[in-house]
Amino acid sequence: MFETTIAGSLPKPSWLAEPNKLWAPWQLAADELAHGKADATLVWVKEQELAGIDIVTDGEQSRQHFVHGFLEQVDGIDFANKVKMGIRNNRYDAMVPTVVGPLRLKGRVHQTEARLARAATRQRLKFTLPGPMTIVDTIADRYYGDKVAMAMAFARVLNEEALALQRDGVDVIQFDEPAFNVYMSEVAGWGIDALHRCIAGLTCTTAVHICYGYGIAANVAWKKTLGGEWRQYEEIFPALNASRIGQVSLECVASRVPLDLLRLLPDKTVQAGVIDVANNAIESAASVADTIGRLLDYIPKARLIASTNCGMAPMPREIALAKLQALGKGARLARERYV
Ligand code: ZN
């Protein structure tokens, strides 16, 4: 009851990448960088275990960014000439690579860190991949000329890597689709179809993560425009509930999402965010347990996993660690309280 996991990412140690920022440049190169990524992965797998997290991740220590870390291993993309593009409906500008030819995996993307994390723990292992809608919103296109066709092409290569991760012993494969909260009308239209292409042939648990983003300034400003109640989930949950994706990872705390929207996911296990990633204040175990208690009005115990609202990549390392520990302790307290 009340198993715990995290959305996915954790901060990189300052010796590996510049701290407290997204797209942080690596501090190491060549073999040293490879060793540094492996060391950081082991540290975070162990820290999650020590904090009592049931379903752990590699902390995304081997990728600079959750989207571009995958794209770097895909043929057909020009990384040498990045272009400036407004992403997430022009919420912010990013320097993005361009699709210039047919997409094909160059080889395995995440084999090294997946196998390392698998060997390092007996906990269940979750692995995150960017979702197709979010990818096509984070890259320019000079080849496909059609967003949906390009998304389906990405879904094919994501599926290839997902099947390989399953063979590596990964228990849960999660696709991160923050774009689902931006282009709501397109989710039922093609977003779910693209996810179904991603999970074809998978027998492990599958999940999709949809949030309001990291606590970076552009997201904080965007949230101010969303009004008193954030009802984006309302438009996409019916289609998600009808989908073949097993679990939905959501933002549920310190957020203006009305929790009764969770009733629109009666057939899904929900990884509910009970840890705020947009605020450095550390939750107490009691407040985490309180949040879990509130969620029980809308989700039965058997379908509730306690998680973080989003990734913790841009946070200070010691804050992220303290939040992991609060999550573990809060879930333990909830197990005692809500028997
Ligand atoms: Zn997120």
> What tens digit of pLDDT does each residue of 206-263 get?
999 999 887 788 888 888 888 889 888 999 999 999 999 999 999 999 888 999 999 9
d(CA 261, CA 265) in angstroms, rounded, equals: 8
- Ligand 1 centroid distance, CA of 328 (Å): 20
Residue-level pLDDT at 104: 97
Cα dist from 117 to 113, 168, 169, 271, 328, whole Å: 6, 10, 10, 21, 19
- Ligand 1 centroid distance, CA of 177 (Å): 8
- Ligand 1 centroid distance, CA of 95 (Å): 20
pLDDT digits (tens, 9 = 90+) for 259-302: 999 999 999 999 999 999 999 999 999 999 999 999 999 999 99
- Ligand 1 centroid distance, CA of 306 (Å): 15
- Ligand 1 centroid distance, CA of 101 (Å): 29
Half-sphere exposure of 227 (CA within 13 A, CB side): 5
pLDDT digits (tens, 9 = 90+) for 183-199: 999 999 999 999 999 99
d(CA 89, CA 94) in angstroms, rounded, equals: 12
- Ligand 1 centroid distance, CA of 182 (Å): 13
Tell me the three state secondary structure of residue 299.
coil
Residue-level pLDDT at 22: 81
> Residue 31: which residues within 8 A CB-CB, separation 6 or more?
none
Identify the structural domains of the chain with CATH numbers, from first to last.
3-337 (3.20.20.210)
- Ligand 1 centroid distance, CA of 249 (Å): 9
- Ligand 1 centroid distance, CA of 169 (Å): 24
- Ligand 1 centroid distance, CA of 309 (Å): 7
Residue-level pLDDT at 83: 93
- Ligand 1 centroid distance, CA of 211 (Å): 5
Least confident piece of the model among 32-46, 84-98, 289-303: 84-98
**Residues 266, 5, 163, 144: what is their CA dihedral angle, to the nearest 10 degrees?**
80
- Ligand 1 centroid distance, CA of 98 (Å): 24
- Ligand 1 centroid distance, CA of 178 (Å): 6
User: pLDDT-derived band of residue 179, with 50, 70 and 90 as boundaries?
Assistant: very high
- Ligand 1 centroid distance, CA of 279 (Å): 14
Residue-level pLDDT at 96: 92
- Ligand 1 centroid distance, CA of 110 (Å): 20
DSSP per-residue string spanning 167-216 = HTT-SEEEEE-GGGGTSHHHIIIIIHHHHHHHHTT--SEEEEEE-S--S-
- Ligand 1 centroid distance, CA of 212 (Å): 6
Q: Please give the residue that has the higher pLDDT: either 90 or 237.
A: 237
What residue type is 251 in one-letter code? E
Model pTM? 0.96
Q: What percent of the chain has pLDDT over 70?
A: 100
- Ligand 1 centroid distance, CA of 128 (Å): 11
- Ligand 1 centroid distance, CA of 31 (Å): 31
Strands 74-87 and 124-130: unpaired
- Ligand 1 centroid distance, CA of 138 (Å): 15
- Ligand 1 centroid distance, CA of 250 (Å): 8
Residue-level pLDDT at 213: 81
d(CA 67, CA 15) in angstroms, rounded, equals: 22
- Ligand 1 centroid distance, CA of 133 (Å): 14
Return mean pLDDT, the chain.
95
